[in-house]
Amino acid sequence: MNEQIVILDFGSQYTQVIARRIRECSVYSTILRFDTPAAEIARLKPAGIILSGGPSSVYAKDAPLPDRGIFDLEVPILGICYGVQVFGHFLGGKVERGTKREYGKGTLTIRDKTCPLFKKLPKTLQVWNSHGDKLTKLPTGFKVVATSDNSEYSGLENRARRLYGIQFHPEVVHTPRGKDLLSNFVHGICGCGKQWNMASYVEQAVAEIRAKVGTERVILGLSGGVDSSVAAALIHKAIGDQLTCIFVNNGLLRAREAEVVQEVFGRNFHMQLQYEDAAELFLRQLRGVTDPERKRKIIGKAFVDVFQTATRRAGKAKFLAQGTLYPDVIESVPIAGNPAHLIKSHHNVGGLPKGMKFQLLEPLRSLFKDEVRSLGTELGLPKEIVQRQPFPGPGLAVRCLGEITPDKLRILRESDRIVVEEMKAADWYYRTWQTFAVLLPVRSVGVQGDERTYDFTIALRAVESQDGMTADWVKLPYELLEKISSRITNEVKGVNRVVLDITSKPPGTIEWE
């Protein structure tokens, strides 16, 4: 990247949000450990540095502290909460435990409107506080530019050295004008343009992939989900037929999923796509199993076995590509000193056997989920792939309660297809986090065609969420619910009743198993 902002992470729960807000300003941002050497930071040639918040106290024995050399890099630095206290610790100020902690909403009063950090902002701002310590003595060369009810040092600057500090969180939505403040920092103070976009990212990523891979071959486990699909499209753009995608049909896929993946990636993108039809193997191993956890373990082990065999059949390759995203790689830094860059197991592989010797290729590891969707659109992937809802790794197995049989999977697959079709037709599918059908191991009496029936029940689940950690059920229009129910009971043989799940998470989970 020609221009970037480096964020040093001191363990704040909001560090990733800071990075997200900087990118919303069309400027690239990257998160590094709090103790990254100044020389390493200098090699990145950042336009500016942000010191995140954090739960520690700078005066604590094992306080996380940066390399003091960052203050000699002659680039603008913005300290947020704990970052302000770092200024105090290193630059002649004083930090003490506050007599009154500040948590939640507060009012900031700007005392110096000439401060470039607060350019075009009103004299008073609603801000979000989350701190117990505070400055009690200004660092050398600094002056106060903003105050709050509980702190006379809520905003400070050393304009000559381009050092700025704020004792609140501008990155969270509870500071409504916080993005404007961050824009003032990256554009006005750091002098960044607006160069961060998907088109420029594609060029850079393609060059990096080619440089890393060279003439070697790459294998990617393609699930048809957003992350692996976008990774496949990007890598293919970079190295073409050096990439082989392995798609495993475990017999637990949604309607036409195998056909869609083969159509999009094989025939449209002309990728080397190795299709592994292992449906019979998976269903045989799941026969008679009803315990949800045992189902998952059987599916996970079977996938590893199938994938391992498939990689040998694909031929020698040096790299295994994964659709790992930024939030998967960068966690808020555990202050005990654990590395920040933690690589998760691949969603589909679930932990590779030691015998599989690959180097990892993770071209999406600097992107957030919505950026990955934008990248997919930039690469020409269809909306049905880029905007598709999350789908569990074990597939329909977690939505088919009780024993899994081919006929029950047929019922569930047909019902789920109707749900998706009607949600899309009513313009609701892309407005919800997940919408799907669940087949319950419950039969009830019904009347269909003037005959008594004793058939299964389908539960309809529709939830809204930001990250899947919590969720609330979606209040779908009655007319839409009625149409879904009518179609399922009329078109799917074996179902005579449809019910609606109105449980939030917590106390429930999004999936039923």
Question: Which sequence positions are flagged as catalytic?
Answer: 81, 169, 171
CB 417, CB 255: distance < 8 Å: yes
Give the residue from 437, 405, 433, 406 showing the smallest Cα distance to 420.
437
Kindly report the three-state secondary structure assignment for every residue of 247-315: EEECCCCCCCHHHHHHHHHHHHCCCEEEEEECHHHHHHHHCCCCCHHHHHHHHHHHHHHHHHHHHHHHC
- Which amino acid appears at position 21 of this protein? R
| DSSP string of 183-231, one letter each residue | HIIIIIIS---S---HHHHHHHHHHHHHHHHTT--EEEE--SSHHHHHH
Written as six digits, the tokens of 280 are 């019979």
Q: Quick one: 312 exposed, middle or buried, by C-beta within 10 A (0-12, 13-18, 19+)?
A: exposed
Please count the other Cβ atoms lying within 10 Å of the Cβ belonging to residue 243: 28
Cα distance between residue 151 and residue 174, in whole Å: 19
- Residue 332, Cα to own-chain centre: how many angstroms? 14
**Angle in degrees, CA 378, 384, 385, rounded to 5:** 60
Helical segments of 443-505, H only = 478-491
Give the count of alpha carbons within 13 A of 61, CB side only. 1
- Residue 464, Cα to own-chain centre: how many angstroms? 16
